[in-house]
């Protein structure tokens, strides 16, 4: 059950009530095209991560612009996307527990579904569920490529799991999943590149090992917005799964490019529209967007198009702005656009995305997989 639509189509953005999640369609569409073009030029498949937007409408736009399917992170997220018309889904996460595995088995009857594994018991559970529902689940082995996250060490341990998947009833071996989340946000270009070089070699050796035992990897998937170009051009990865590129956030904007300048591959398209709810103080003001309206776990939002204002602190329903000396006075009720700090968890706070073009509301999209944590 969604909340009331926050805006009507055709009104000016100035008349949208706050806080509201805004999607600026022009930069969004340019981001969409840029990634699709890069994937097609590099000869890799594009499977964007839908955990970023949790919105079937956006997933459909990604498919229309050339993506082969989408990724998601949760069983219930996959169900919501399938209900929204998405028919090719990879869950880039280990699914644990019989209840969820049975839901996977059922969903695999409706859509092309793939999931990942790093444990023999899990392979057995996936297999039981697929057999029960008479479906086929594609299973990729998750290769640990840095960081303390789930996954199996490259080489022999991957081979052992791949052999087990290939032999399990109801399952087919889909290839390898290798995603390094930490590498995406390494600020320095050279260090980010070095992290990528380290893991791509491991993957390459593992693919060769599997081939030498008669197990071809039809898919090697991974990558995020921060390293997407390298996996795309690696000759090892066959598929990339970036998520944040469609929206950008201030955390990604803190990455640096090769020349040490601010990284500008993609444009900001996602904002939280907020209103000034307290002003007239010498050095601070309050807006109506706190932690229930904007996520601050890794980075603060930034006030867009207005100098001298920095978002520095948040309580549940209030956001604190530092006001620099000589900043033009704020007015009570003045609307400010906040470029979001971390796009994925911010989107998850909203039922609706207000889509604007040239300052006019063009559409209001439901965030259909919002809150699907199961």
Ligand X SMILES: *Cc1c(COP(=O)(O)O)cnc(C)c1O
Q: How far apart are the first and last CA of the chain?
A: 17
Strand pairing class (45-46; 239-240): parallel
Query: Does residue number 62 form part of the binding site for ligand X (CB under 6 A)?
Result: no
Written as six digits, the tokens of 324 are: 């620099």
268 contributes a contact to ligand X by CB under 6 A: no
Among 239, 304, 306, residue whose Cα is nearest residue 42: 239
The structure tokens 């039922």 sit at: 351
Nearer to ligand X, 135 or 225 (CB): 225
Judged by CB under 6 A, the stretch of 37-45, 96-104, 161-169, 238-246 that binds ligand X is 238-246
> What percent of the chain is helix, strand and coil (3-state, nearest 5)?
30, 25, 45
Report the residue number, 206 or 225, with the smaller CB distance to ligand X.
Answer: 225
Contact characters 81-110, ligand X, x per CB under 6 A: -----------x------------------
Q: How far is the C-alpha of 290 from the C-alpha of 19, rounded, in Å?
A: 9
Contacts to ligand X from residues 207-226, by CB under 6 A: 224-226
**Is-contact 302 311, C-beta < 8 A?**
yes
Q: Which two tokens stand for residue 242?
A: 């970036």
Per-residue contact flags (x/-) with ligand X for residues 343 to 372, judged by CB under 6 A: ------------------------------
CB of 227 vs ligand X, minimal distance in Å: 9
Both structure tokens of 97? 């527990």
Torsions phi, psi for 75 (to 5 deg): -60, -45
In the complex, minimum distance from the CB of residue 240 to ligand X, in angstroms, rounded to a whole number: 8
CB of 249 to ligand X, least distance (A): 9
The residue from 151, 243, 290, 341 that contacts ligand X (CB under 6 A) is: 243
CA dihedral defined by 208, 213, 218, 219, rounded to 10 degrees?
-60
CB of 93 to ligand X, least distance (A): 7
Q: Which is nearer to ligand X, 6 or 151 (CB)?
A: 151
Least Cβ distance, residue 178 to ligand X (angstroms): 9
Among residues 293 and 347, whose Cβ is nearest to ligand X? Answer: 347
CA 270/CA 28 separation, integer angstroms: 8
Sites for ligand X among residues 25-54 (CB under 6 A)? 49, 51-52
Whole-number Å distance between alpha carbons of 124 and 8: 50
Question: How far apart are CB 116 and ligand X at their closest, in Å?
Answer: 9
Which lies closer to ligand X via its Cβ, residue 179 or residue 237?
A: 179
Number of CB atoms found within 10 A of residue 349's CB: 18
From candidates 28, 179, 263, 271, binder to ligand X by CB under 6 A: 179
Instruction: Tell me which of 219, 244, 250, 372 binds ligand X, using CB under 6 A.
Output: 244
242 lies in the binding site for ligand X (CB under 6 A): yes
CA distance 70 to 87: 9
Helices (H) and strands (E) in the chain, counts: 11, 17
Q: Which is nearer to ligand X, 52 or 135 (CB)?
A: 52
Count of chain residues binding ligand X (CB under 6 A): 15
**Length of the chain as a residue count:** 374
Q: How many Å apart are CA 289 and CA 296, to the nearest integer?
A: 11
Tell me the backbone φ, ψ of residue 339, rounded to 5 degrees: -70, 130
Query: Is the CB of 50 or the CB of 361 nearer to ligand X?
Result: 50
Which of 184, 219, 238, 275: binder of ligand X (CB under 6 A)? 184
Binding range to ligand X, per CB under 6 A, among 80-88, 241-249, 287-295, 363-371: 241-249
Binding site for ligand X (CB under 6 A): 49, 51-52, 71, 92, 179, 181, 184, 224-226, 241-244
């Amino acid at each position: 059950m969604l909340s009331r639509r926050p805006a009507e189509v055709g009104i000016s953005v100035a008349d949208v009530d706050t806080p509201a999640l805004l999607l600026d369609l022009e930069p969004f569409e340019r981001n969409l095209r840029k990634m699709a073009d890069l994937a097609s030029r590099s000869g890799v498949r594009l499977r964007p991560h839908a955990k970023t937007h949790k919105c079937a409408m956006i997933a459909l736009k990604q498919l229309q612009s050339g993506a082969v399917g989408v990724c998601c992170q949760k069983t219930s997220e996959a169900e919501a996307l399938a209900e929204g018309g998405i028919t090719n889904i990879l869950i880039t996460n280990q699914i644990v527990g019989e209840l969820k595995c049975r839901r996977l088995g059922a969903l695999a009857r409706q859509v092309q579904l793939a999931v990942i594994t790093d444990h023999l018991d899990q392979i057995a559970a996936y297999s039981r569920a697929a057999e029960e529902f008479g479906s086929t689940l594609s299973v990729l082995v998750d290769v640990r490529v840095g960081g303390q996250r789930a996954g199996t060490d490259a080489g022999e341990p991957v081979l052992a799991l791949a052999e087990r998947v290939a032999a399990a009833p109801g399952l087919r071996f889909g290839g390898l999943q290798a995603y390094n989340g930490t590498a995406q946000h390494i600020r320095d270009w050279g260090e980010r590149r070095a992290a990528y070089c380290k893991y791509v070699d491991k993957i390459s050796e593992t693919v060769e090992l599997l081939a030498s035992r008669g197990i071809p990897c039809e898919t090697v998937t991974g990558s995020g917005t921060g390293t997407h170009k390298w996996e795309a051009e690696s000759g090892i990865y066959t598929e990339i799964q970036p998520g944040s590129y469609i929206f950008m956030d201030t955390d990604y904007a803190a990455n640096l490019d090769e020349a040490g300048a601010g990284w500008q591959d993609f444009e900001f398209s996602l904002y939280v529209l907020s209103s000034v709810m307290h002003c007239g103080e010498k050095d601070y003001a309050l807006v109506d967007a706190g932690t229930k309206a904007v996520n601050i776990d890794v980075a603060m939002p930034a006030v867009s198009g207005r100098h001298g204002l920095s978002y520095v602190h948040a309580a549940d329903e209030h956001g604190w702005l530092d006001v620099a000396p000589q900043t033009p006075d704020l007015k009570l009720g003045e609307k400010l656009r906040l470029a979001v700090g971390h796009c994925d968890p911010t989107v998850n706070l909203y039922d609706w995305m207000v889509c604007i073009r040239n300052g006019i509301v063009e559409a209001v999209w439901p965030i259909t997989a919002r809150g699907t944590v199961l």
